[in-house]
Amino acid sequence: MSMKINFVTSNQYKFKEFTEISGLDLARVNLDLEEIQAVDVGKVAEHKARQAFAIIKKPVIVADTGLYCEAWKGLPGALAKWFDQTIGYAKLCNLLGEDRAARAQTVIGYYDQNGYRAFVGEVQGEIAKSPRGDYAFGWDVIFAPKGCNQTFAEMGKNEKNKISMLKIAIDKFKDFLQE
């Protein structure tokens, strides 16, 4: 697809990671959007995509990610960043009991003149007993994908980007663009 897509984010790292994985021709648009406080990443992404489209009146994508702990009925979800800023990921690991099952989810929200579409990527895994790894973005230091002894942070960027929830969501989005 030759059309440049407007990726709305104030996070340079998120833009860089998205373009590296997707290979898409994206224009970064830095908008100050209201971010609703919700556990559901899908609701956050849809809200942002609708706002962004209303402002720039061109097709937009946004991407949001959440970490869902089964023992906590899905918390912290899209609020993971606030958990980190409040208690830190080490404390989150300590507070979690024996049930360490978790899932990482990314939702790419796309909004154009035809309305909203969501593309979801999900990876099952577990929360580590303590933060581990050097390469880290957000909660990469505490999430280990199912069947893997390493956290995303221990894997490093290249390995993580082959199997991440963002990669899965991007693949679905790229399939949609080819339709």
Q: Which residues are marked as active site?
A: 64
CB 130 within 8 A of CB 90: yes
Nearest to 128 by CA among 146, 104, 144: 144
Query: Which helix (H) or strand (E) segment is 31 a member of?
Result: none
Query: Which helix (H) or strand (E) segment is 7 a member of?
Result: strand 5-8
What lies within 8 Å, CB to CB, of 97 at 6+ separation is 71
Helix (H, G, I), strand (E, B) or coil at 108: strand
Question: Cα-flanking dihedrals φ and ψ of residue 17, to 5°?
Answer: -60, -45
- Count of residues making up the chain: 179
CB 3 within 8 A of CB 30: no
